[in-house]
Amino acid sequence: MKALVELLARSLVERPDAVAVRLVEAPQETVIEVQVASEDVGKIIGRGGRVIKAIRTLARAAATRSGKRVNVEVLRP
């Protein structure tokens, strides 16, 4: 899941070297935190949140095998 989110984030932004993805494990849920350069935050979120919603949907679909809930959060720099 982390690799999938990182691949998607790096392909969307202008500065792929500034992308940092961190996995935070909890008993019931896994949170994937994505941090990008300040000028790339809008590209990750997308118009009306469409892009981040699609990334979340893909991450949740990839996580169904593990039986855990997954949430993707964009951290502001």
pLDDT digits (tens, 9 = 90+) for 3-15: 999 999 999 999 9
Structure tokens at 52: 């981040």
Confidence of residue 77 (pLDDT cuts 50, 70, 90): confident
CATH code of residue 27: 3.30.300.20
Q: Which residues contact 37 (CB under 8 A, 6 or more apart)?
A: 13, 14, 15, 18, 77
Give me the pLDDT at residue 44, please.
95
Domain that holds residue 55: 2-75
Q: Which residue has the tokens 């790096």?
A: 10
pTM of the prediction?
0.90
The tally of domains found in the chain comes to: 1
Mean pLDDT of 30-45: 95
Give me the pLDDT at residue 72, please.
96
Enclosing H/E stretch for 72: strand 69-75
- Separation CA 75–CA 56 (nearest Å): 14
